Structure formats: structure tokens, C-alpha cells
Amino acid sequence: MRRARRSTAFGTVGLLSGLIMVSLSAASAGTVPSGASTPVPGPSHPGAAASSDSLHAAWQAGGCPLCHDVPDVAPASRQDSCTDCHTWIRKVSASPAAREKAMQVFPLWTRYEKNVASYLQVPSLQAAMARLDPAWVDGYLQDPHDLRPGLPEGMPRFALSDAQRKAIVDGFAAATASVPATPAPDPARLAAGEALFTAKACAGCHSLGWRHKETVLPMAPDLAHTRARMDKDHVAAWIRDPKSLSDQATMPTLPLTDEEVLALRDYVLLADIDGTPTSAMRSGLPAPTTEPVAWADVEREVFGKICVHCHMDPAQNEGRAGPGNAGGFGWAATGIELQTYEGVVSVADRIPDALARRRHEAARDDVAPGELPAALTRPERPGMPLGLPPLSDEQTALVLGWIDQGMPRE
């Protein structure tokens, strides 16, 4: 098979990550990560010591450090970390000197800047471990759903074994912050809580189901999920002073009296939020476009822009193939490479199904403010693109049209 040797996005990124240390680090605004993926010795939570090996193995199997700061695990290198490499591209762009240098080294730099959008921010795992109910985490890892309506990307669906999932859930249990006991929730506090929710600026960052839909901050979760995620004592302690549970908390500590904390807690836990499940159930596929479509069009709009980042051609990327090709997030290797024309053509018969599954899953994974994730049966294999919003109708029609037209190269 003929290998296209042109300098594609990821070919250049492979080069980029190799060169960065020597040529750009001085000008770059960011710090250069160590590049090591070895564990930092010593668990920080006493209860975790016995299981730290299986926990560490489970973090790696799920690829958690590719996006999250995982306690006691050294960050993934910039060459591998979705979050670190993407934010680095943004940081270099923001510094005129570094940007100029990057543009000399990487011919496609302006395209990178324009396209990199996902995983620039992810929630802190340490803050999540301090406050979330481990039983909820167990369910979420099996069937993740949209928690933050202002954040387009979500968590990938994993294929972790029961033992791997248990190790992670136990890790959450061992890291739960101990907090003072509080009185039982009381509907008598609801009215006061509702008024405070707006008066104390909670509504400026958080949505709460259909009651507060104007989400301002992408990283603030929709508090409609909180009653399933946290117990009453952790909700109260978090509202009082998030930093006392985790130094990674980004929510500000607001001056509140004890009564105000309880009123806000009870509004979050008891207010009626029985809204409609998301109406964005886009099952089925749109009609293929009848306009002529060539490889360059689908490469630019879909495969080279979205899919390649997990389905790389190792020949063009110093051996790196990405989780969708070499295996990752617990999934076995597929050997599917979507960087070259030949790679895409060889699996084209599987692509429409993979796109349709994602549209089906979108009713849980991509939920509009004010709506709730729909209950649905997950197809055995995850929809594509994994963890990201489904392709738009236009992008889908383009791919289907190109396949219908016999996948013309020109």
C-alpha cells in the first residue's frame, strides 16, 4: 500500500512534540513537562496504601492521566496528554514571540490554533474525589453522561474491567474528605434557598435543571445532578468552603451564615427539577449530500479535523497510533487508521454505523441546559467520535455523500 508522505496535521505535531523541548521552550509561555509517566512514589491517603498498585494500574488502563490531574500519578507528557498539548498550543498562540517561532517551525500552525478546542479544561479529579459519592462514580464510569451543559466535550466511554473500576471507586472512597454532620434536609428552607441561589451569585455560574438555565461557566456542573452525586453533609461543607475539601476547588468561598448554607443546600437537594429528558435525540442519519464530495473535503471537515486525533497513522507519527487505533480508554486495539485515504476507505463500511451510534448516545452525552440526560440502552460499541459531540448534520451528510459517491480521491 502506498503511504502518503505529505506533512499532515499530526505528522507535524509528532515533529512538534519532539522539537518543542529544544527549540521552543525558551520562548514558550508554558512550562515543559517532565515527560515521565512513572508514578510518583507514596500514596497521599493512608487507606489507599494497600490497593495503590491496582489503583495505579486502573488509572493507566483508563487513560485518566491523559486528561485529568490524577493524585499520586505523574502527569502524562505533553506528547501524550490531550489537555496539556491542547492548552500548550493555546498558550504559545497567546505569546507573540513564541507564536512567531512556532509558525516558522510548523507550517500548519494557524490551522492548529483555529481547530484546537476540546479538553482545554477538565474538572479536577482531586476535587471530585474529595466530594463525590463513590457509588455514583461507579455508575458514571459505566455510563457517563453530560454534567456540564456549557462544556461541549464529555468523558469518553471506557471499557474497564470490573476489577479496574472497583480499584478506582475504592480510590474515590479512600479520598473522601471528612466533613461535619449536618441536620436533615427540610422543605421549610426551600423558599429561602431559592432566593439566596440568585442573590448569592450561584446562578451566575451554575445551572440547576430547568430552574436556572443561563449557565455562565463551562466548568460549573449542573446542580440537578448533585443529589445523586453527593451526600447532604458534603454538599453543605462544599457550599461553605470548597477549598477546605480540596485545594484544587475553583469555586470561590462565599460569605454565608450557617442558616444560609443549609437553605442553599436544601434548595439544591429538594427543589423540584423534574424536567423533560433531552429532546436532542438525533437517532437516524440525515440524507447523504448530493453535491460532489472529494477526499480533501471530508479530510478537512471530518477525518483530519476530528477523527485522526485518535486514529493516527503510526508511520507518520513516530509510531504513535492513538487510542482508536492502538487501543486506549480500556478498549482493545482496532487497527483503524483514519489519517490516510487508504485507511478511511478500508473501514468505510463501518463508519455510518459508528456515527449513528453517537447520535443515539447524544441524548445522554450532549444535553442542553434545562434538560436532563435521557435513559437509553448503550450500544455494545461506543459511538464515534468518542466523548465528543456527534458530527453535525452537515458533516454527517458530507461523509455519507462521499461514501455514496464511491469515495472519490479527487
**Contacts with ligand HEC in 258-297 (CB under 6 A)?**
264, 268
Contact range with ligand HEC by CB under 6 A, out of 83-91, 280-288, 290-298, 402-410? 83-91
Binding ligand HEC (rule: CB under 6 A), the pick from 262, 351, 400, 403 is 351
Type of residue at 321: A
Q: Of 175, 158, 146, 162, whose CA–CA distance to 66 is shortest? A: 158
Task: Give the DSSP letter string of 104-131.
Answer: HH-TTHHHHHHH--TTSS---HHHHHHH
Closest residue to bound ligand HEC by CB: 62
Binding ligand HEC (rule: CB under 6 A), the pick from 235, 237, 263, 397 is 235
Burial code (b: 16+ CB inside 10 Å, e: under 16) for 374-399 equals bebeeeeebbbbbbbbbbeeebbbbb
Q: In the window 290-349, what residues touch ligand HEC (CB under 6 A)?
A: 302, 305-307, 309-311, 323-324, 328-329, 331, 334, 336, 338, 347
Distance between CA atoms of 263 and 158, rounded to whole angstroms?
Answer: 37
CA dihedral 224, 227, 228, 231 (to 10 degrees): 150
For helices 82-94 and 96-105, angle between their N-to-C axes, nearest 10 degrees: 110
Site track 4-23 with ligand HEC (rule: CB under 6 A), x = hit? -----x---x---x------
Distance between CA atoms of 1 and 205, rounded to whole angstroms?
Answer: 53
Q: In the window 135-164, what residues touch ligand HEC (CB under 6 A)?
A: 137, 146-148, 151, 153-156, 158
Site track 380-399 with ligand HEC (rule: CB under 6 A), x = hit? -xx-xxxxx--x--------
Type of residue at 405: Q
Tell me if residue 170 falls in helix, strand or coil.
Answer: helix
CB of residue 205 vs ligand HEC: minimum separation in angstroms?
Answer: 3
Q: In the window 195-234, what residues touch ligand HEC (CB under 6 A)?
A: 200-202, 204-206, 217, 219-221, 223, 225-226, 229-230
CB of residue 410 vs ligand HEC: minimum separation in angstroms?
Answer: 21
Q: In the window 95-134, what residues touch ligand HEC (CB under 6 A)?
A: 108, 111-112, 115-119, 122-123, 125, 127-128
